[in-house]
Copies of this chain bind each other. A is one copy, B any other.
Amino acid sequence: MSMGDLKKIVVIGGVAGGATAASKARRCCADAEIEIYDQDEFISYAGCGLPYFIGGHSPNWRRLLARMPDEFANRQNIRVFLRHRVNSIDAANKLVRVVDLEGVSEFSIEYDRLIIATGAVPLVPPLPGKELDGVFVLRSLKHALEMKSFIDLQAPHRVAIVGGGAIGMEMCEALRRLGMEVHLVELADHVLPPMDADLALRLGEHLEKRGVVLHLGEKVEGMEGKRDGRVARLITSRGSLEADMVLLSIGIRPASELARQAGIALGARDAIRVDESMRTSAPDVLACGDCATTFHMVAGSESWVPMGSTARKQGRVAGETASGNQASFPGVLGTFILKAFEMTAGKTGLGVSEAVEVGFPAESVTLEDSTFPAYYQAGPRMTARVTVEKGSGRILGAQVLGDFAAQVDKRLDILAACTAARLTASDLSSLDLAYAPPYSHPLDLPIVAGNLAEARVLGKECTCTVEGLED
């Protein structure tokens, strides 16, 4: 199909990947019709901001909306259909069947290019009591508004958060901020399972210091309610826990049923399989964002790593490809970060056990130190653990943990850039980072971690610290 034939681009879903894809497509093809269909009432909002809205840090939810539907129409000539669910895709005839959820009419739409950006949906196992009033998931703005309304009207006293991942952590902070008693129930023996246990343990201790009650190694079996239909307790493998609100944040899965039913191939974790240009197995059908697979640049394999930032990047590429341009997305490192109270935890690339699993002879070095020269600002501290390939010294990933004020995110991003660039420990140790006392030690933590890793890889003894000169 040549560009000249491109009359209509249809986008299913308009939160992050879809909104970006539509905007990018508009930029590339001034004349094509572009339409977004979304079953929800809201599109183009900051999903990652929901815990901050609920906790009252960002009390006005309207500020989470990046763009209103009429702005899409007026400024970009993109038509947005809210509360319109796409029920099926006929890839052979290039049609989608759409239901207007308000009017309950169903109609067909032709497309020249289709972009599937249906996102992900919360995992909700078939637990007894999951339909009780006061049991929530938190994925969409609608979920957040429902939860906020429940909190405002019912004033729950004690919440059980099920799942100690990023959302679980952020919601611990949000709900403690609202004065609630917070219990965190996690199946694994430490919070934040993607982190190494010893690091995650320290995050867990911080949560406890801030009043969160941890229930680790505990499996949720269901919820029990009161007569009025409101949740009263959580039943776990270890007993029961009184709770007048429950948040199930045990994970998400890609919203790929629509694609699967259309015969489009799925990949890792049943996400829609896409190539580096966001093409699916069906001609002229693209996918991007949390519903789509990606490529893990260190593991070297197809992967499913749903992230708002990745959705934007994939959305740009999907918009380009849909417009007939060449574009590609090389993949991800699985980088994540979260703030929990006054602590930051994050990771990029692979930990040692993950690296070994995919075939790297890997080891790690761990460095704990202050962020700033003591004479300038004592206090903020952090820990970095860098995964390196034995022999080559290639940086395979890093985990960082520390005080929020320690600017752990900066060190993580430096290490993410180095991991993406396939730098070695030796490269890291000689990196020319910006030094002045208000920003770091003369040799910032990633550099010293590079020294340590270099010594480890070369089998040298090394006991350097950032604070001392003994390096």
Residues of A within 8 A of B (CB): 16, 19-20, 23-24, 27, 44, 46, 48-49, 52-53, 57-58, 60, 63-64, 66-67, 76, 166, 170, 297, 307-310, 312-313, 316, 329-339, 344, 346, 348, 373-376, 404, 407, 409-410, 412-414, 416-418, 420-421, 423, 427, 429-440, 442-444, 447, 451, 461-462, 468-471
Known contacts A309-B432, A417-B423; 7 further A-B pairs (Cβ under 8 A): A48-B435, A48-B437, A297-B432, A313-B429, A329-B430, A412-B434, A416-B433
Distance in Å: Cβ of A300 to nearest Cβ of chain B: 15
In angstroms, Cα B166 to Cα A437, docked, is 12
Chain B positions within 8 Å of A433 at CB level: 309, 335, 413, 416-417
Q: Which of chain B's residues has its CB closest to A75's CB? A: B470
Chain B positions within 8 Å of A23 at CB level: 469-471
The answer to whether A334 touches B469, judged by C-beta atoms less than 8 angstroms apart, is: no
The answer to whether B67 touches A309, judged by C-beta atoms less than 8 angstroms apart, is: no
The answer to whether A436 touches B339, judged by C-beta atoms less than 8 angstroms apart, is: yes
Chain B positions within 8 Å of A312 at CB level: 442-443, 469, 471
The answer to whether A336 touches B434, judged by C-beta atoms less than 8 angstroms apart, is: yes
Choice from B52, B330, B332, B423 contacting A375 with Cβ under 8 Å:
B52
Choice from B46, B64, B414, B435 contacting A417 with Cβ under 8 Å:
B414
Q: Which of chain B's residues has its CB closest to A305's CB? A: B432
Chain B positions within 8 Å of A297 at CB level: 432
Chain B positions within 8 Å of A431 at CB level: 416-417, 420
Chain B positions within 8 Å of A471 at CB level: 20, 23-24, 312, 316
Chain B positions within 8 Å of A432 at CB level: 297, 309-310, 332-335, 348, 416, 420
In angstroms, Cα B377 to Cα A58, docked, is 9
Choice from B307, B348, B434, B468 contacting A66 with Cβ under 8 Å:
B468
The answer to whether A434 touches B407, judged by C-beta atoms less than 8 angstroms apart, is: no
- Can you list 18 A-B contacts with CB-CB less than 8 angstroms, sorted by A residue number? A23-B469, A48-B436, A48-B442, A49-B373, A49-B376, A52-B376, A58-B375, A312-B469, A313-B447, A336-B436, A337-B434, A337-B439, A339-B438, A339-B439, A407-B410, A410-B410, A413-B444, A421-B423
